[in-house]
Amino acid sequence: MLVGQSMVLVYKSTVALGNPKAVHVAAAIASKEVWNTRSCMPAGTRFWIGAGR
């Protein structure tokens, strides 16, 4: 399971191979780390969050 900075590292690795057409981030549980990734992802990234606080 990836959270926070791990998601950002995966995204940066993906971009190194080429620009993705779309980015979707899925998380079963909302956490500060997941929400903090929003500033590191490109505009238009879709976040799919399950349970929140």
pLDDT of residue 17: 94
Q: What is the 3-state secondary structure (H, E, C) of the chain?
A: CCCCHHHHHHHHHHHHHCCCCCCEEEEEECCHHHHHHHHHCCCCCEEEEEECC
Question: For residue 14, what are the domain limits?
Answer: 5-51
- For 6-16, how does the pLDDT look when each residue is reduced to its tens digit (9 = 90+)? 888 888 999 99
Q: Is residue 1 over pLDDT 90? A: no
Domain count, the chain: 1
In angstroms, rounded to a whole number, what is the distance separating the alpha carbons of residues 33 and 51? 14
- For 15-43, how does the pLDDT look when each residue is reduced to its tens digit (9 = 90+)? 999 989 999 988 887 788 887 888 889 99
pLDDT of residue 52: 62
CB atoms under 10 Å from CB of 41, counted, come to: 15
